[in-house]
Structure 1
Amino acid sequence: MSHLLPVTTILGCKNSMLREGLRHILSSTRFKLHPESFGRGEVRLDDSASDHPLLFVLDANLYLSGLADVIGPLKLQHPQARVVILADVFNLDGMKSAFQAGADGYCLATTGCEALIKYLDLVMLGEVVFPSAAFLTAISTLGMEDDAQKDASAIRAPAVRASHAVDGQDSPIRTLSSREAEILHCLMQGSPNKVIARKLDVAEATVKVHIKAILRKIRVANRTQAAMWAVNHLSPDQMDGSRAP
């Protein structure tokens, strides 16, 4: 991607070793580090830097009090900028909070050099990136915890089921077709449209239409938010692609 425009890249890193490591990784790429680091205030850009695409790479450890409080104002100040969060360990709630605040990517500090550069390139192309393997592991763990809680609840109070059995007719879960539920499950796995189309034996254009319908029905803005919505709202039985009864 050497033919693409240089990207003015601003780091917000607490760890000096991490900062120097990123400086070394990005030194031969189109991601040109800005001399000024980002803390919590404004960053002054000269005319040459402001003419280029802008990327902020923020160390999650620097904003333990709340990433959302930093990302929101940053996106207001630089609406066209991309924001990528770099975390030491995967945190599902932290990732959800970052994306809801406007982040464009969530990466782990353990990501390989070449993979990180590709992640950043995808972010600059308008894609939302996150560690799919860690995400799926977190979902699986969450599902097992939910199952344990449901089993315990059933033992303590079997009659409680009746209150959960009736959803309103306008519930987003009830409005999803069986095919949309299948596609939503694929989104949870991080599958791109081509893979989904091949798996379901339909045209890629059909997958796009279904995804638009899913986003509209569950009232989210993008496929990442759709996957997160599914984690919070679908039961393990519904996650297998079958329609809610």
Structure 2
Amino acid sequence: MTLEHTTEPIRIVLIDDHTLFRSGIKALLARQEGFEVIGEASDGLSGVKLVEQAAPDVVLLDLDMPVMNGREALAQILSSRPEQTVVMLTVSEDSEDLTECMRLGARGFLLKNIHAEFLIESIKKAAAGDNVFSPEMTARLVQSLINPGTPAVAGALDSLTQRELEILGHLAAGRSNKVIARKLDLAESTIKVHVQNILRKLELTSRVQAAVYAVQHNVPQPQD
């Protein structure tokens, strides 16, 4: 007898003050295999409480909302659940919103004008540990991070171990902790510790900044 392999659906919480938009996203995800919307909230404060109770795999979070805005909600969510995957889903194309949300720890920044297929793939990637961005926001992120005010300097690379340099190269290639762990035959928790050490030594606040820094300073990216 053959046992069928079943994969648990990605459990999602929607936080957005527009009822019709939430309904549209729910309807879209309901038509796809592998997704389950387990809750929704119409303001940031209610969203924070919902995430704490429901512990979803992915949170889709708007920026401009009543009671508590998306930035404040993001900060509170990640304060109580540091490993929570949160993706901003917004109309804002403001570079300051983008960089602040990434600094706070958002996994991605998507604009509401993206195609349905792009949203579906982005949710899957975010759930797997990757960072996701609308195409037009990627260039803005790189521009905002590559500037003379970037805290880390080239000499800081000397403080990294050989293993940390290797992992930094994987970050530059856009790989998640899970993928890096598999390629290096290490535990995912070990990769997480290495990434934290890299950020601390380079005085950076996110793996996205680390990836940009690696490209800027020609850190070799491993070949597939």
Task: Verify same fold: TM over 0.5.
Answer: yes
- Deviation track 1:21-56 (CA, whole Å, cap 9, x = no partner) reads 2112111333322354241334666xxx84x74432
CA 1:216/1:41 → structure 2, altered by over 3 Å: closer, same or farther? Answer: closer
Q: Deviations over 1:67-111 (max 9, x none)?
A: 331112223444553211102243332122112223222212122
In structure 2, how many angstroms separate the alpha carbons of the residues matched to 1:21 and 1:221? 34
What letter matches 1:55 in structure 2?
Answer: V
Aligned pair partner of 1:176 in 157, 174, 195: 157
Amino acid corresponding to residue 82 of structure 1 in structure 2: T
Which residue of structure 2 lines up, in the alignment, with residue 105 of structure 1? 108
Match of 2:180 in 1: none
Q: Which moved more, 1:98-107 or 1:27-36?
A: 27-36
Structure 2 counterpart of 1:39, from 34, 43, 51: 43
Match of 1:165 in 2: none
Q: 8 Å contact 1:172–1:217 — kept in the other structure?
A: no
Segments of 5+ residues of structure 1 without an aligned counterpart are 151-169, 194-203
Is the Cα–Cα contact under 8 Å of residues 171 and 207 in structure 2 kept in the other structure?
yes
Distance in structure 1 (CA, Å) of the matches to 2:11 and 2:121: 16
Q: Which aligned pairs between 1:119-158 and structure 2 lie closer than 5 A?
A: 119-125=122-128, 127-131=129-133, 133-138=135-140
Q: State whether residues 152 and 204 of structure 2, in contact with CA within 8 Å, keep that contact through their aligned partners in structure 1.
A: no
Question: Which residue number corresponds to residue 219 of structure 1?
Answer: 203
| TM-score, L = length of structure 2 | 0.61
Cα offsets for 1:186-241 (capped at 9, x unmatched)? 967x6559xxxxxxxxxx75xx9xx958545313364313246x4xxx9xxx9474
When the two structures are aligned, how many residues end up with a matched partner? Answer: 194
- CA apart distance, 1:173: 2.5
Aligned mates of 2:143, 2:205 — CA distance in 1: 26
Cα 1:8–1:136 shift into 2, 3 Å:
closer
Distance in 1, matches of 2:28 and 2:75, equals 27
Contact conserved, 1:12 with 1:56, CA < 8 A, in 2? yes
8 Å contact 1:11–1:19 — kept in the other structure? yes
The residue aligned with 2:70 is: 67
Task: Specify the alignment match of 1:6 in structure 2.
Answer: 9
- Partner SS, residue 62 of structure 1: coil
Q: What secondary structure is seen at the aligned counterpart in 2 of 1:94? A: helix
Matched letter for residue 93 of structure 1 = E
Residue 92 of structure 1 is aligned with which of 86, 91, 95?
95
TM-score by structure 1 length?
A: 0.56
Q: Identity of aligned pairs, percent?
A: 19
CA contact (8 A) 2:43 2:68 kept: no
